[in-house]
């Protein structure tokens, strides 16, 4: 009789720890994809923008988690050729695969933002955003087996497979705000968002209605030094399933030429979990980043060597309106 109890335990753990990912993926480069975390971030600067990331998590301790995200956003309703008091719209998609695709979660989100600039130079603004998400989760139960399905060594009762395969569609509504200040040598951004997830309880087997709130906040700062190098700081806070996550760190931007292209080197820390070295590149319209999580949690204490790598890519698809500091965050 072929049984995979360890898979069931893994799936249950994953369902408990990762529910609520309808729009906010658990990643190491949230500063490169702010629209996944806050709907007020879409349509910044009237540019058409594409953001994406790929993350492989916990390789080396079993089948890894794979998370892929892609988003596009743009600004519209500009007045007299200026992005003052403009709207922004964005679409975000996230896919997560666990245990070689046995459990897969997919979500698609829509975000709408309204941005108000406080002066003609567009150095400061305030934005409000709302969003809506749809999440589906599928389980390939044909790869699982249970004791109550067997009689004299033969599979005869599919009841367990039918129960575990059922998982309803979930819906999320969210709202957020963002304030920013940008000048020729500095970039400052702060924001927060709240998600309401209409979902079932933290297991695939049960189907009891429930709701959960999820809160996130972020801070982005980049400042240009006298030698045209920049130093940036990022921090974000998330509260999910009554668990708190805090992530913060800094990086140095080294100029590559007079076109404000830069290479970035830095390090970040996620509380009680990992130290995360970071390297990045901003070249013309493209921004790429790479991180590697060095864990300091209970996984490493059991002589396991989990490996988590994340790659991000974003690009601006339109011309840049502002002559302010070209920041990794904008």
List, in order of start, the domains of the chain with CATH numbers.
Answer: 5-316 (2.40.160.40)
Strands 209-224 and 286-295: unpaired
Query: What separation in angstroms does the CA of 171 have from each of 182, 197, 202, 210?
Result: 35, 6, 15, 11
pLDDT given for residue 229 in this prediction: 93
* Backbone φ and ψ of 93, nearest 5°: -130, 135
Retrieve residue 287's tokens: 């921004």
Helix (H) or strand (E) holding 17: helix 5-18
Looking at residue 285, its pLDDT comes to 86
How many residues are there in the chain?
330
Q: Give the pLDDT of residue 16.
A: 39
The answer to whether the CB of 235 falls within 8 A of the CB of 246 is yes
Report d(CA 265, CA 253) in Å as an integer.
7
Q: What are the residues whose beta carbons fall under 8 Å from the beta carbon of 26, sequence distance 6 or more? A: 18, 67, 245
Q: For the residues of 161-214, what is the DSSP string, one character each?
A: HHHHH----EEEEEEEEEEEEE-SSEEEEEEEEEEEEEEE-SSSS---EEEEEE
pTM over 0.75: yes
Note the pLDDT of residue 103.
Answer: 84
**Alpha carbons 14 and 21: distance in angstroms, whole number:** 11
The predicted structure's pLDDT at residue 169: 79
Nearest in space to 186 (alpha carbons), one of 235, 220, 236, 221 = 221
The pLDDT assigned to 198 comes to 67
Instruction: Give pLDDT, residue 237.
Output: 93
Q: What is the pLDDT of residue 275?
A: 93
pLDDT for the residue 53: 94
pLDDT at 9: 41
Query: CB within 8 A of 242, min separation 6: which ones?
Result: none
CB 193 within 8 Å of CB 38: yes
**For the stretch 243-254, what's the b/e string if a residue is b when 16 or more beta carbons lie within 10 angstroms of its beta carbon?**
eeeebebebebe
pLDDT mean by block of 10 residues, the chain; 330 residues: 42 43 65 89 79 87 84 78 75 88 88 88 88 86 59 52 62 93 91 79 50 86 92 92 87 88 94 92 92 78 76 81 70
């Amino acid at each position: 009789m072929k049984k995979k109890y360890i898979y069931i335990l893994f799936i249950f753990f994953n369902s408990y720890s990762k529910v609520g990912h309808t729009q906010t993926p658990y990643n190491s480069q949230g500063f490169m994809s702010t629209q996944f975390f806050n709907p007020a971030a879409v349509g910044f600067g009237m540019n058409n923008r594409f953001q994406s990331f790929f993350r492989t998590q916990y390789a080396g301790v079993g089948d890894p988690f794979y998370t892929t995200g892609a988003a596009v956003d743009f600004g519209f309703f500009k007045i007299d050729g200026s992005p003052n008091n403009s709207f922004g719209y964005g679409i975000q998609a996230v896919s997560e695969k666990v245990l070689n695709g046995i459990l897969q979660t997919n979500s698609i989100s829509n975000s709408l933002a309204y941005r108000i600039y406080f002066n003609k130079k567009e150095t400061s603004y305030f934005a409000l955003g709302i969003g809506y998400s749809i999440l589906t989760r599928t389980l390939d139960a044909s790869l699982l087996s249970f004791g109550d399905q067997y009689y004299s060594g033969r599979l005869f009762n599919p009841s367990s497979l039918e129960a575990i395969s059922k998982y309803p569609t979930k819906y999320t509504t969210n709202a957020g705000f963002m304030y920013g200040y940008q000048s020729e040598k500095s970039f400052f951004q702060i924001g927060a968002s709240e998600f309401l997830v209409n979902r079932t309880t933290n297991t695939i087997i049960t189907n009891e209605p429930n709701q959960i709130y999820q809160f996130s906040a972020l801070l982005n700062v980049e400042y240009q030094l006298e030698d045209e190098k920049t130093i940036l700081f990022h921090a974000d806070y998330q509260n999910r399933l009554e668990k708190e996550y805090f992530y913060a760190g800094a990086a140095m931007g080294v100029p590559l030429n007079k076109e404000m292209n830069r290479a970035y080197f830095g390090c970040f820390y996620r509380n009680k979990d990992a130290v995360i070295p970071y390297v990045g590149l901003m070249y013309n319209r493209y921004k790429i980043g790479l991180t590697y999580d060095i864990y300091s949690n209970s996984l490493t204490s059991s002589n396991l060597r989990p490996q988590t790598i994340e790659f991000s890519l974003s690009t601006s698809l339109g011309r840049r309106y502002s002559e302010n500091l070209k920041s990794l965050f904008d």
